Amino acid sequence: MSTSRTPGVRHIRLKIVRKPAFACFLLWIGCWIIANTSIYIHRSIFAGYCTEEKSKRIFARLCHDYKQGVLTGDVCDDLCVTQTMVYKQCLYYDKGKKVIQADWNSQPVILKSKLENFSSYDRLYLLDERETRSIQDIDILLFTALEVKRALGLEVKNTTVPQLWAKQLKDKRDSYSRAELASMWSLLQQEEYVLFRLLQDLSKHVPRVMGSCGHFYVVEYLTAGHAWHHSLFSVETLVNPSWRDSSRKVLWRTINEIALSFLELIRHFENDFSHHLHLCDIKPENFAIRSDLTVVAIDVDMAFFEPKMRNILEQNCTADEDCNFFDCFSRCNTKTNKCTAERSNSNLQVICDKIFRPLFISKLSELRMYHPLQSQLRNAVLRCSELSIHGVTDKKTMEVTFLELYDLLKAWQR
């Protein structure tokens, strides 16, 4: 009797034989998907970052233009001839400003420009119009004042304008060269440069401008904030070397001083200039600290004095949400369908929400750091951050909130 196999048995055997092959196939597909996904994620995360090659190319082009006499500046020689200023690393996203760290006589500095190429800035039309004749100082003054008005919305006095020029107009005997005028014009088109320059002698909360070359301006290197950092700023690299044991007490004290300096900055930007200065892009990355723990606003592209702020906010609207400009909000008047020109939240509220809340509530708990005044401080920070949610913006409440935070931080310091 022949033992013929039934189709059912053969099917089972085939399944058993094919199983390892099928598993291998699945494994292979799985690996392929994982490999491709990680390449994709890696590419999309790092695609927007600057590269050393690209940044060095930017400097090479800058120096080429300098040697051709197209542009100039007080640091061009150091960067392009003596090489006492050398590239260190780039710190920008492709879509943002070009921010490059360099070593200048072995000290770190930052070079910044809104656009990559000098030729991408508008040319000063006087240079084309008066190709052969020299340009009068009075014209330069007028053009500069107009550019400051455009950039910052401020009417500047004639006495302020020369501050923006590397060499004081009144001390200058020869007329400006074409390269000098073209370089200055490219800098004046950068709102951040104009604001930094105007506030140089008025504020310790903006970085020192140390010079320029073409469209790049050099500012002091500071310890920048990072949202991912356990205390937002890498204070370990800053504090007195004798504190390096990084005891919790020292970290507490440092964080406390940074918070007080933030409050000082808020007061200063509110009261010490002819107009209130509004910060509309508040995040740890846009602030830095000096070694004495002074907080410095390092990215002021979204900082506006009151007149320009009012212009920005006054838009058409149908609801309050249409009146939000980054961190600066106003309200919609549904009768006129226009946003109110007056800002409805404040620098203090946003700093409470985006800096103090993560610092005093999440980060310190993660570090398991406790302090007797911590719960009071935590409540004060929460109340302050939630003021804008409840639409509370009156001056008196803001003042009380400010003082509550200030007094708690001072008491803690003692």
Ligand X SMILES: Nc1ncnc2c1ncn2[C@@H]1O[C@H](COP(=O)(O)OP(=O)(O)OP(=O)(O)O)[C@@H](O)[C@H]1O
CB 160 within 8 A of CB 198: yes
Residue 277 to residue 268: CA distance in whole angstroms:
9
Q: How far is the CB of 195 from ligand X (least distance, A)?
A: 12
Instruction: Between 99 and 328, name the residue whose CB sits nearer to ligand X.
Output: 99
Residues 271-310, interacting with ligand X (CB under 6 A): 285-286, 288, 298-299, 301
Please tell me whether residue 153 binds ligand X under the rule CB under 6 A. no
Strands 85-90 and 98-104: antiparallel
Q: How far is the CB of 132 from ligand X (least distance, A)?
A: 39
Nearest to 262 by CA among 232, 302, 236, 221: 232
Q: How far is the CB of 316 from Mg ion (least distance, A)?
A: 29
CB 135 within 8 A of CB 290: no
Q: How far is the CB of 287 from Mg ion (least distance, A)?
A: 9
Helix (H, G, I), strand (E, B) or coil at 412: helix
Q: Residue from 59, 66, 92, 176 that binds ligand X (CB under 6 A)?
A: 92
The radius of gyration of the chain from alpha carbons, rounded to an integer in Å, stands at 29
CB 199 within 8 A of CB 211: no
CB 71 within 8 A of CB 25: no
Instruction: Between 66 and 221, name the residue whose CB sits nearer to ligand X.
Output: 221
CB 194 within 8 A of CB 164: yes
Residue 393 to residue 4: CA distance in whole angstroms:
90
Instruction: Between 143 and 193, name the residue whose CB sits nearer to Mg ion.
Output: 193
Minimal CB distance residue for ligand X: 96
Residues 212-231, interacting with ligand X (CB under 6 A): 219, 221-222, 224
Contact partner, 270, from Mg ion, ligand X, none, Cβ < 5-8 Å per class: none
CB 282 within 8 A of CB 357: no
Instruction: Between 286 and 388, name the residue whose CB sits nearer to Mg ion.
Output: 286
Instruction: Between 298 and 339, name the residue whose CB sits nearer to ligand X.
Output: 298
Look up residue 156 and give its two tokens.
Answer: 């500047």
Please tell me whether residue 377 binds ligand X under the rule CB under 6 A. no
Residues 93-152, interacting with ligand X (CB under 6 A): 93, 96-97, 99, 110
Given the rule CB under 5 A, which residues bind Mg ion? 286, 299
Residue 378 to residue 357: CA distance in whole angstroms:
8
Q: How far is the CB of 329 from Mg ion (least distance, A)?
A: 20
Interface positions with ligand X (CB under 6 A): 91-93, 96-97, 99, 110, 207, 219, 221-222, 224, 285-286, 288, 298-299, 301
